[in-house]
A = this chain, B = another copy of it.
């Protein structure tokens, strides 16, 4: 990693060529997300977006669990902070501020131009469930258990809701929230919550296969396509034609298309594939 990033204290990061492996590293609390962890996850992403090297960010949890959600201690502290009555439940309320930070984190991962992968094992709960919904590719170990306990605790899956809807659609998100649902790997696969399930033994190889697949794609093309998809989520298709055509022309006249189409004609891997060390 480039030199300016302060060493994270609750993450382990490992750069392997174009892939940044980010390990949530609080195994004693199943990687519950403290404010420090949130902040470091966001810093690591911003740094990766700017380092000119990283093309894929892989999120995973230490100790066999992905993430047990928000750290309840931070919420308890925010709740006990003094707040004027007219600031309660406004953005001046520390509880709202703390919660919003998690929303900004999910939004940053959901909207980055980098490709993102989550490796989901053991507990994936609350905020961890939301983070898992924000990545492009979700690979699950067959021991995974998803839980959405918020409403059973009297709180809301508030910042998670938009990403549940992105991944599962409105109706399934609603059902899961109303039932504080628990899902195993096969149920998650059937809902499209994860894209692949494998055994713990097969995990390294399946992750590599997903990365190989992603690294065959040109990084600027991925970023531009993700931007088009996000921009087009809430717009009638016909209204998108001109913007899409202009984005296409920018890409088609750029260096990636030049290399990609030439490599295709010459029946060889494109430069970005070769550089990544993938076949």
A210 (CB) vs chain B CBs: closest residue:
B179
| CB neighbours of A251 from chain B (8 A) | 154-156, 158
Are B174 and A249 interface neighbours, CB within 8 A? no
The listed residue (B154, B230, B257) touching A155 by CB distance below 8 A is B257
Are B253 and A89 interface neighbours, CB within 8 A? yes
Are B155 and A252 interface neighbours, CB within 8 A? yes
| CB neighbours of A247 from chain B (8 A) | 89, 156, 158
User: Quick one: copies of this chain in the complex?
Assistant: 3
Are B222 and A151 interface neighbours, CB within 8 A? yes
Are B258 and A154 interface neighbours, CB within 8 A? yes
Q: Interface digits, A190-234 against B, CB 8 Å rule (1 contact, 0 not)?
A: 011001000000000000001001101110111011101110111
Minimum CB–CB distance for A245 against chain B, Å: 4
| CB neighbours of A88 from chain B (8 A) | 249-250, 253
A88 to B191, CA, bound (A): 42
Are A245 and B96 interface neighbours, CB within 8 A? yes
A75 to B245, CA, bound (A): 12
Minimum CB–CB distance for A16 against chain B, Å: 18
Q: A163 at the A/B interface (Cβ < 8 Å)?
A: yes
Are A246 and B90 interface neighbours, CB within 8 A? yes
Contact sample, A vs B, 14 pairs, CB 8 Å cutoff: A88-B253, A95-B249, A99-B248, A106-B237, A136-B179, A137-B178, A151-B218, A152-B218, A153-B260, A155-B261, A159-B241, A165-B232, A177-B222, A191-B192
Closest 5 CB pairs of A and B: A154-B260, A154-B256, A162-B237, A103-B241, A151-B217
